[in-house]
């Protein structure tokens, strides 16, 4: 059996994570009291469940250390397991609670929301030491879904690179960490034979392959990212979005996004999205 324990701060995305795990074939239990964790896992294992995900958090209150102690004993059991700890910056958590109008589990008349978040962070500090930590501060639900799926497929968390092509005339991608403007390159749109094709079609690929400026742009983008991605990895960034844009988002940006993705797939987890042609 493979067990995934989902924990972390309230408002950090645990419900989203559990939904993603359920969609991936895991039997999911939300808000399980910490003192029932051991017995629940034992029962589900006896029932021959092969994939189980359990959410344990501050709602277990003073019994939360029981979950931490159970995690420490898992190495002695014949159970494959991972503990995923979801975190986010306090300002973002406050914003999320404000938007959803949800009440923090620790809230009362004596402490405000920011104090609740600081108190919760201290209370769950012990279990976070045994976990894979995901900072969801800058992650949309869709990005968290992509990241967790990568983990489920590869069995490890790595910094994921999302390369996204787009058209400037439809607006910038709001989630991009870096944006590269390739509108200065020769445009296949002005060739009648290529206009209705995309940067994934062979005639367009051949057209752009033969252009020295396009190849230089590709090399410059790759060299820039190779120089700076390691610094983001050291800073515990688990997700980087690279936007490559041309005018309409069909030819040059698609072609270069494919080339950049192919290069980095050799060394890290890469996902690619073509916003305007998908």
Q: Which residue has the higher pLDDT, 185 or 141?
A: 185
Q: What one-character-per-residue DSSP string does 192-255 give?
A: TTTTTS-TTSHHHHHHHHT-HHHHHHHHHHHHHHHHHHHHHHHTT--EEEEEEEESSSSSHHHH
Place of tokens 């809230």: 107
> Does the predicted model carry a pTM greater than 0.95?
no
Residue 195 shares a structural domain with residue 258: yes
Q: Which residue has the higher pLDDT, 82 or 62?
A: 82
Residue 146 shares a structural domain with residue 170: no
**Within 10 Å of residue 82's Cβ, how many Cβ atoms?**
18
CA distance 26 to 178: 35
Kindly state the percentage of the chain with pLDDT values over 70: 94
Burial of 91: CB neighbours in 10 Å, binned 0-12, 13-18, 19+:
exposed
CA distance 201 to 191: 14
State pLDDT tens for residues 136-184: 887 778 778 877 877 777 665 567 788 999 999 999 988 889 999 999 9
Residue 118 shares a structural domain with residue 218: no
Supply the range of the domain harboring residue 178.
160-274
Total domain count, the chain? 2
Going by C-alpha positions, the residue among 114, 71, 67, 73 that lies closest to residue 94 is: 114
Residue 141 shares a structural domain with residue 168: no
Collect all residues with Cβ–Cβ distance below 8 Å to 103 and sequence separation of at least 6.
Answer: 97
The average pLDDT across 126-135 equals 77
Pairing of strands 178-181, 239-246: parallel
- Last residue in a domain, options 136, 154, 172: 154
pLDDT of 35 higher than 80: yes
Least confident piece of the model among 59-73, 76-90, 194-208: 59-73
Largest CA distance in the chain: 70
Residue 191 shares a structural domain with residue 53: no
pLDDT of 238 higher than 70: no
The answer to whether 133 touches 85, Cβ cutoff 8 Å, is yes
């Amino acid at each position: 059996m493979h067990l995934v324990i989902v924990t972390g701060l309230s408002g950090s995305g645990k419900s989203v994570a559990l939904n993603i795990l359920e969609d991936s074939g895991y039997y999911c239990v939300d808000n399980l009291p910490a003192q029932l964790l051991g017995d629940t896992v034992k029962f589900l294992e006896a029932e021959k469940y092969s994939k189980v995900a359990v959410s344990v958090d501050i709602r277990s209150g003073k019994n939360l250390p029981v979950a931490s102690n159970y995690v420490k004993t898992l190495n002695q059991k014949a159970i494959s397991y991972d503990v995923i700890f979801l975190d986010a910056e306090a300002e973002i958590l406050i914003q999320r609670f404000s938007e959803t109008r949800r009440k923090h589990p620790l809230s009362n008349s004596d402490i405000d929301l920011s104090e609740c978040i600081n108190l919760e962070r201290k209370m769950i500090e012990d279990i976070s030491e045994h976990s894979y930590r995901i900072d969801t501060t800058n992650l949309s639900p869709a990005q968290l879904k992509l990241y967790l799926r990568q983990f489920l497929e590869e069995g490890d968390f790595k910094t994921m690179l999302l390369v996204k092509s787009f058209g400037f005339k439809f607006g910038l991608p709001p989630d991009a960490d870096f944006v590269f403007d390739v509108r200065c390159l020769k445009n296949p749109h002005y060739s009648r034979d290529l206009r209705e094709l995309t940067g994934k079609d062979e005639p367009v690929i051949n057209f752009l392959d033969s252009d020295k400026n396009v190849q230089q742009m590709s090399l410059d983008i790759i060299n820039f990212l190779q120089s700076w991605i390691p610094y983001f990895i050291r800073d515990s960034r688990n997700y980087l979005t690279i936007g490559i844009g041309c005018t309409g988002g069909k030819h040059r940006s698609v072609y270069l996004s494919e080339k950049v993705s192919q290069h980095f797939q050799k060394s890290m987890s890469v996902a690619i999205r073509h916003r305007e042609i998908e």
